Structure 1
Amino acid sequence: MDDISTGTLSGILITLLFISAFFSSSETGMMSLNRYRLRHLAQNHHKSATRVEKLLSRPDRLIGLILIGNNLVNILASAIATLIAIRLFGDYGVAIATVALTVVVLIFAEVTPKTLAALYPERVAFPASFILKPLMVLLYPAVWTINAISNGLLALFRINPHGGEETAISSEELRTIVNEAGALIPRRHQDMLVSILDLEKVTVDDIMVPRNEIYGIDVTQDWKTISRRLLQSPHTKVLLYRDNIDDALGFIHARDALRLLAKEEFSKPTLMRAVREVYFIPEATPLNVQLVKFQRNKERIGLIVDEYGDIQGLVTLDDILEEIVGDFTTTISPTLSDEIKPQDDGSYLIEGSASIRDINKELGWQLPNDGPRSLNGLILEYLEEIPQANIGLRLAGYPIEILEVENNMVKLVRVLPHYYQS
């Protein structure tokens, strides 16, 4: 290089620094890409994304290629910088070149391009793939040799170079992605997606209608009473039972009852023949499992039974769907359930049968829900006895006044506002 002028060497050095910056930014850009977005773009036939995805399919080879190029360029740049410095400063040139080139490489060929690539990975990685792909073909023998040696060293430590962590994400990670989607996904859709993910954490026991609230008809009653209860039913499907709910016979659909009435064949025998078989659901069944079972068995309603076969409650397909999309109402504005009534003083009148999970969900409270499922059950567990009316207690930090007790159950309570908590 003695025949090459200092100006020419300086131009070569600057060019090498640009090439080093290219390799540094390419490495960071490639590794910073959102793999799921990249896969989505590749599936939609985005040419650059397809090319990058192919390069990233073997990250060991890609990293090997980039490091070979980067190190060759940096070593050559170091040699040229030293030669220039010796010409200019004599014996002190080596020290000056070492310090100066270190600062220049760090700023202009490492930190700055890598920071830029980390901020805009697609803008860096996609154009870089045009150069990296042919370079991979050109330098493949060198890349293969270096990777073989590197993988052999890893094997000595019993590390499988191709057995990295799975790229699949867990439900918790997916929940975080959905919550942080911001304006990319409307808030309403975010809530629905998170609710779907939460189905595996919620069981049919959490959303069921308790057995004491199931609207049913005892077929041992006289026909006039049966007819009246059918006409007064608030539901399209009514449970028929003999003497008590545990001896359930099946469900009668209002449509079937009207058809019998239209044919003037409305009597107890014809009603019993129109009964549809009961579909039973084991307690503690997760909602995501039950949703699939409803679909597979073409059912929309079922009775929940415990390990002894006793009926604990009732759940419908609509109940599960409401867990995903929210309550079906005639207004789009959010409203509290009928069991929760806000008062002018900021307190809430809540029925004892209200679900703790629903209370926490609607009011943003944190009542303990790892035990009893109803507010009545939670109060009885805390007091360890059936209370009298007009007594107060503080439960999980919430001041509660018991207003009504009926049939050994807390019927109605008043809960003071959350800002009264200590």
Structure 2
Amino acid sequence: MSAYAFFLTLVLLILISAFFSISEIALTASKRTKLQVLSEKGEQRALKIMLLKEQPGNFFTVVQIGVNAVAILGGVLSEGALNGYLRDAVLPFVAPAAAERVGSIGSFLIITVLFIQFADLIPKRLAMINPEQVALRIIEPMLMCIRLLKPLVMVFNGLANLLLRLCKLPTRSIEHVTSEDISAIMDAGAEAGVLRKQELHLIENIFELESKNITSVMTYRDDVVYFTIAGDEKGIREKITARPHAKYLVCRDDIDNVLGFIDSKDLLQRVANDDFSSVIRNIEKFYNKKLLVIPDTLNLSEALARFKEARENFAVIINEYGLVVGVATLNDIVTALMGSVIYPSDDEQIVKRDDHSWLVDGVTPIDDVKKALQIEELPGEGDYETIAGFMINALKRIPKKSEAVEAAGFRFEVVDIDNYKIDQLLISRLS
């Protein structure tokens, strides 16, 4: 073989091997979400790629046939031509036996380096830069190769599927897109400057609707303002003046005997008509009995669905014993969704004192504490919902002031407690 023919053959083999290498990476790394977007824009090749990815055995078989066939031909070329060229080149300087070894080793090294560099590494790195666009360009030639090599593909693919089934292994890949995957994409978009910080927070909060319980946003029973049927006018006026709200519970004698609620706008109308005193004296005739009651086991997403079904924006939260644990409004859920975006500094439950310490309200949801402190896991998760619950779970009793617990590289110390209720904690990073 002449040197010119040898060079052309070598270049052709490298190009063929590079095609199979770049095809393998492009078809494997291309993301289904991006392909679906391209398909919706009318790109038919994207649909072909998705169909091929559902049965990856076909193109993997073609790739392996092509790569191995080229490797064998490259070895033959190395042994038959390049070996002789190198041997003849060094023969005037060394003994014939040594020249033979130099030719054999040299041809092996040269062919190996050329194929690794130009037929494998560089094509694969190029394909990884934008796999979807590369896949669009190589899909038609790859489908042609699959059709031409169909008999071999059927044989090798059939044998591979048989062995996988015997080993009880899946023969097809199933892509599952999880909330973690989407969050990772959003984080990457924020780092690249595609998403603003507020948009990233909003998306993260949407996913947290499934993980946060309704009790994390409700007003706890100790803070709920309610009227009783036997309440006097002066007491009710003082409650309205001291703690104005949009809605007030109406109870028989205590908060666990809820009858309904009364809307502040109805009271305002009565005040405007000088009829407020009659409402108070006959409050059982004016309150709204259509009260939404939801269990405290619902997450925010489920609670939002209940608000939508009932067409209400106010609900009483009860536990499994039928006792009232608090009240929640639709606005509470919206605030949980939008609060960190619209009101980043209002009513903060976690206040950062310095780089190593935080003041935290006892009712702060444990997920918010973990997120703020970048804690992966705390002991006993699932047995409590708030940071106060974490302290009680860790100590196995109601803590006293100044008692502390160390966990996950932090020290959790009770700094304020009110009649068995943990009001505030100091969290410090351990050195």
| TM-score, normalisation: structure 1 | 0.79
Gap change, CA 1:308 and 1:160, over 3 Å in 2: closer
Counterpart position of 1:84: 81
Identity %: 25
Partner secondary structure for residue 201 of structure 1: coil
Give the match's secondary structure for 1:30: helix
The answer to whether the 8 Å contact 2:292/2:310 transfers is no
Residue identity matched to 2:337: I
Other-structure match for 1:189: 199
Match of 1:136 in 2: 146
Q: Which whole-Å CA distance do the structure 2 matches of 1:145 and 1:349 have between them?
A: 67
Could you say which residue in structure 2 is the equivalent of 1:100?
110
Assess, with a 3 A threshold, how the Cα gap between structure 1 residues 224 and 155 changes in structure 2: closer, same or farther: closer
Query: Does residue 167 of structure 1 match 2:175?
Result: yes
Q: Structure 1 residues 129-138 or 236-245, which shifts more?
A: 129-138
Give 2:294's aligned residue.
281
Question: What is the CA–CA distance in structure 2 between the aligned matches of 1:386 and 1:47, rounded to whole Å?
Answer: 65
Instruction: Say whether the 8 Å CA contact 1:82–1:97 is kept in structure 2.
Output: yes
1:7 to 4, 7, 15: 4
1:301 maps onto 2:311 in alignment: no
| Alignment correspondent of 1:241 | 251
Change in 2 beyond 3 A, CA 1:361/1:25: closer
In structure 2, what is the Cα distance between the partners aligned to 1:347 and 1:27?
A: 51
Deviation at 1:355, TM superposition (A): 3.3
Match of 2:94 in 1: none
CA distance in structure 1 between the aligned counterparts of 2:241 and 2:177, rounded to whole angstroms = 52
| In structure 2, C-alpha distance between the alignment counterparts of 1:48 and 1:70, rounded to whole Å | 24
Matched, 1:360 2:376: no
Deviates more, 1:57-66 or 1:250-259: 250-259
3-state SS of the aligned residue for 1:180? helix
Tell me, what secondary structure is at the counterpart of 1:148?
helix
1:149 is the counterpart of 2:159 = yes
What is residue 122 of structure 2 aligned with on the other side? 112
Relative to structure 1, is the Cα distance of residues 246 and 189 closer, same or farther in structure 2, using a 3 angstrom cutoff?
same
Residue matched to 1:180: 188
Q: How many angstroms apart in 2 are the aligned matches of 1:87 and 1:348?
A: 76
Flag the 1:328–1:242 CA change in 2: closer, same or farther, 3 A: farther
Whole-Å separation in 1 of the counterparts to 2:122 and 2:390 = 62
Residue 340 of structure 1, CA deviation: 7.3
Q: CA offset at residue 212 of structure 1? A: 1.4
Match of 1:71 among 68, 81, 95: 68
Q: CA deviation at 1:414?
A: 7.9
Segment of structure 1 superposing worse, 369-378 or 43-52: 369-378
Cα separation, partners in 2 of 1:348 and 1:43, compared to 1, 3 Å: closer
Residue 257 of structure 1 contacts residue 271 of structure 1 at CA under 8 Å; is this kept in 2?
no
Q: Give the Å deviation of 1:326.
A: 1.3
**In 1, Cα distance between equivalents of 2:53 and 2:368:** 49
Q: Which residue of structure 2 aligns with residue 310 of structure 1?
A: 323
Q: Distance in 2 between matches of 1:380 and 1:5?
A: 83
Relative to structure 1, is the Cα distance of residues 15 and 279 closer, same or farther in structure 2, using a 3 angstrom cutoff? same
Deviation, 1:61, is: 0.7
Per-residue Cα deviation, 1:187-206 (whole angstroms, up to 9, x for no partner): 22222222222222221222
Q: Give distance in 2, aligned partners of 1:160 and 1:338.
A: 50
- Shift in Å at residue 280 of structure 1? 1.4
Q: Check conservation: 2:315, 2:328, Cα contact below 8 A.
A: yes
* Aligned partner (choices 15, 20, 23) of residue 20 of structure 2: 23
Tell me if the contact between 1:51 and 1:129 (Cα under 8 Å) persists in the aligned partners. yes
Aligned partners of 2:363 and 2:423 also within 8 Å: no
| Contact 2:228/2:251 (8 A) holds in 1 | yes
Distance 1:109 1:381 in 2: 59
Distance 1:101 1:229 in 2: 89
- SS of the equivalent of 2:257 reads strand
Report the aligned-residue RMSD.
3.8
Change (3 A) 1:326 1:35: same
- Structure 1 pair 236–336 and aligned structure 2 pair: CA distance change class (3 A): closer
Q: 1:336 to 1:142 in 2, by over 3 A?
A: same
What CA distance in whole angstroms lies between the structure 1 residues aligned with 2:328 and 2:29?
Answer: 47
AA at the equivalent of 1:318: N
Deviates more, 1:243-252 or 1:96-105: 96-105
Q: Which amino acid aligns with 1:220?
A: A
Give, in whole Å, the separation in 1 of the partners of 2:213 and 2:422: 25
Query: Residue 259 of structure 2: SS of its match in structure 1?
Result: strand
- Distance in 1 separating the partners of 2:32 and 2:352: 48
Give CA deviations for 1:212-258 in whole Å, capped at 9, x if unaligned.
Answer: 11011122123454456456652211111121111111111223334
Identify the residue that residue 62 of structure 1 maps to in structure 2.
59
CA shift at 1:14, angstroms? Answer: 1.5
Out of 280-289 and 110-119, give the one that drifted further: 110-119
SS of the residue corresponding to residue 235 of structure 1 reads coil
Equivalent AA in structure 2 for residue 300 of structure 1: N
Is 1:272 the counterpart of 2:285 in the alignment? yes
Q: Distance in 1 between matches of 2:59 and 2:311?
A: 52
For residues 87-143 of structure 1, give each alpha carbon's deviation from its aligned partner in whole angstroms, at most 9, with x where no partner exists.
534794666544432232222212232233234423533322242233333333332
Aligned length: 404
Q: 1:411 to 1:27 in 2, by over 3 A?
A: closer
- Unaligned segments of structure 1, at least 5 residues: none
Q: 1:10·1:84 contact (CA, 8 Å) conserved in 2?
A: no
Q: SS at the partner of 1:320? A: helix
Query: Matches of 1:76 and 1:350 in 2, distance apart?
Result: 70
Deviations 1:136-159 (A, max 9, x none): 333333322332233233334343
TM-score between both structures, scaled by the size of structure 2: 0.78
Deviation at 1:78, TM superposition (A): 3.0
Q: 1:35 to 1:383 in 2, by over 3 A?
A: closer
Amino acid paired to 1:308: Y
Cα distance in 2 for residues equivalent to 1:394 and 1:49: 58
